[in-house]
Amino acid sequence: MSLENTTGAIALRVVESTEVFAATELSIELSEALRILPDRREVYVGRLLGMERAVVAKRFLTHPQQARDWRREWDGLVKLEALHLSAPMPLCVAEEVDGSAVWVMMDCIEDARSLQEAFANSEDEERFEIAQQLARLVDATHRAGARQTDQHIDNWAWDGARLYLLDAASFEYTKHALSERLRLQDLAAICVTLAPVAECLFRAAIGTEYLVDDARLRGRLLDQLEGAIVALQAERTRRYFKKSRRTCTEFFETKAETHRMLHLRNADPEIVQALAADPEALMGEGERVKSGNTCTVQRVLRCGRSYILKRYNKQPWLDRVRKFFSDSRALKSWSSAWVLEMAFIPTARAVAVYEDTRQRLPGLRYLLMEQIDGQLLPEYIEACGTDAARIEAVADEFVQLWESLGRLRAAHGDLKATNLIAGDDGRLYLFDLDAFRFGLKPSAFERGRQKDLRRFMKNWSNRPELLKVFEAKLREVAE
């Protein structure tokens, strides 16, 4: 049973602890759920009553791998502490009174932020310091023969002064410093979890703070890093695409007699329930954005927030037969949106996808997205007039998006300017992902890439000055 909404104290008995933790029984009061892995593991922020100590508590539920999972977490914390690597202090292992769930307790890092949040919300000087500390901590970890096998952005925390390693269970250890191959794999794994600006800072920091006593090895690693990143990104996107189709920490799947639905777990319950109850009624609430034979697009306002609801209309009978064994365009767009978000490519955030299953052949499909505040790119360019600085800024954003798509070996399929929005936040958003493909083989990627670029440049065929700006920016990154 999940304790996500539990209030009040939970009594536990200590079965293993460090020397600094003397209690044999304890009570914990939970304040926040950090992560829920159904039927497997739950992570909470809590407070040990009587000690008034803030902790992060991992609760391992009863299942065949329970003992292995909590043991890995506890032994990992103890090992990191013994190696003097920056990580939360281990406190104890405790059981619930009925002996079912096992808890692993560690100190809570005060004012902790994820690495991504720290990079995004810090001034330049602090970002530089974070990147430097990250390179030094990675160096220390590699020298100690340790590496995270599940490297991602939430496995690091920053408290404003110090960087910490998290998820101790995902570490593996060798008797000596990591080999060149393992070093390269780990550096690439860190790079793909960082947003572009943060990644640039980290890669610069590697050049000065990593392997300071072995410049030749560092040079080889830096030379091979981009290729390793591209290969790893392909693997990650395939896994995440599949993950978006099932219940997990981020998403929740519902199957009913009438429909199948996936939604973002932390989405507003009211809009999710409205879609699940009657998607056509929700469509009727909104304002028409686009009408077409293929799809109908409606803007919907709920709880003070604007959404875009896209209905994929029924196609002719023969088309539906052909696509019987294929994913719907709604489901492809849902998963593609999350692949783009994982790769730090701005797009409309997918909230839910609904598939009508009452008929044997594919029926109506609905995709619910958050609305992007901004202007379609042609309108934004027109509004820029002769402001060269604004036009250059949007060209820089396009080049960043173009490079990120390249790393994914992706093709949009219809990269016209009206499928891009210049957001109020200064970023360039890509949408309309019905034809989006990623992880393409070299020949298909090259064809798709050329088609995308031709389609994009065609938008400015009557504006040679704009063509020159975009072409010059693309040449800069190609050199």
Q: Do residue 316 and residue 331 come from a single domain?
A: yes
Instruction: Give the model's confidence band at 323: pLDDT under 50 very low, under 70 low, under 90 confident, else very high.
Output: low
Instruction: Say if residue 378 is in the same domain as residue 364.
Output: no
Strand ranges (DSSP E) for 68-134? Answer: 90-96, 102-107, 113-114
With CA atoms as reference, report the closest residue to 415 among 365, 458, 352, 445: 458
Question: pLDDT band at residue 318, thresholds of 50, 70 and 90?
Answer: low
Q: Which domain holds residue 14?
A: 9-107
Least confident of 4-8, 135-139, 323-327, 445-449: 323-327
Cβ(151)–Cβ(189) below 8 Å:
yes
Q: Is there a single domain that holds both residue 28 and residue 68?
A: yes
Contacts 24+ apart (CB under 8 A), 182-187: 182/142, 182/147, 183/142, 183/221, 184/221, 184/224, 184/225, 184/228, 185/147, 185/228, 185/232, 186/138, 186/142, 186/147, 186/148, 186/151, 187/138, 187/221, 187/225, 187/228
pLDDT at 478: 73
Q: Is residue 245 part of a domain?
A: no
Classify residue 211: in a domain, yes or no.
Answer: yes
Residues contacting residue 288 through CB under 8 Å, at least 6 positions apart: 296, 297, 298, 299
Answer yes or no: is 236 within a domain: no
* Residue 126: count of CB within 10 angstroms of its CB: 15
Residue 242 lies in a domain: no
Same domain, 128 and 219: yes
pTM: 0.83
pLDDT of residue 316 exceeding 60: no
- Maximum alpha-carbon separation in the chain: 77
Domain boundary among 179, 196, 231: 231
Mean pLDDT of 387-402: 94
Q: What is the pLDDT of residues 25-58, one digit of tens each?
A: 999 999 999 888 888 999 999 999 989 899 999 9
Are 122 and 93 members of one domain?
Answer: no
The pLDDT, as a whole number, for residue 398 is 96
Let me know whether 119 and 137 are in one domain: yes
* Predicted pLDDT of residue 249: 81
Tokens of residue 303, six digits: 């709880």
2-6, 302-306, 347-351, 395-399, range with the lowest pLDDT:
2-6
Q: Is 243 within the bounds of a domain?
A: no
For residue 317, is pLDDT > 90? Answer: no
Question: Which residue matches tokens 């690495």?
Answer: 115
Question: Does 186 fall in a domain?
Answer: yes
- Segment 443-455 shows an average pLDDT of 96
Average pLDDT over residues 405-420: 95
142 with 42, same domain: the answer is no
Under 8 Å between Cβ of 102 and 95: yes
Work out the mean pLDDT of the chain and round it to a whole number. 92
* Count of structural domains within the chain: 4
Residue 322 has pLDDT above 70, yes or no: no
Tell me if 2 is assigned to some domain.
Answer: no
Residue 175 lies in a domain: yes
- Reduce the DSSP state of residue 462 to 3 states and report it: coil
Q: What are phi and psi of 165, to 5 degrees?
A: -85, 140
The CATH number linked to 101 is 3.30.200.20
Residues 347 and 392 in one domain: no
pLDDT at 321 over 70: no
Examine the domain organization and report whether 103 and 125 are in the same domain.
no
